[in-house]
Amino acid sequence: MRAVDLSQRMLGHGRFETRPTGPVVAPIVADAVTLPLPDARVDVVVGSASLLYMPVARALGEWRRVLRPGGRVGFSTMREGHPPAARLFRSLAREYGVELGDPAAGSGSETACAAALSSAGFGDVVIHSGTVRMGRADLEHSWTVHARLHREHLQARLDSNLLRHFEFAYRAALDSRHLDMAAVEVLYATAVRP
Domains of the chain: 1-30 (no CATH), 42-192 (3.40.50.150)
- Rounded CA-CA distance 110/24 in Å is 34
CA-CA distances (angstroms) from residue 14 to 42, 44, 49, 56, 107? 20, 19, 17, 25, 26
Cα–Cα nearest to 166, from 155, 177, 179: 155
- Average confidence score pLDDT of the chain: 88
Whole-number pLDDT of residue 66: 94
**Confidence at 7, pLDDT banded by 50, 70, 90:** low
Cα–Cα nearest to 151, from 95, 105, 89: 89
Averaged pLDDT, 82-108: 94
Q: Evaluate the omega torsion of the peptide bond into residue 20 and state whether it is cis, within 30 degrees of 0.
A: no
- What global pTM score does this model have? 0.84
What is the C-alpha R_g of the chain? 18
Per residue in 124-152, pLDDT (tens digit) is 999 999 999 988 888 889 999 999 989 99
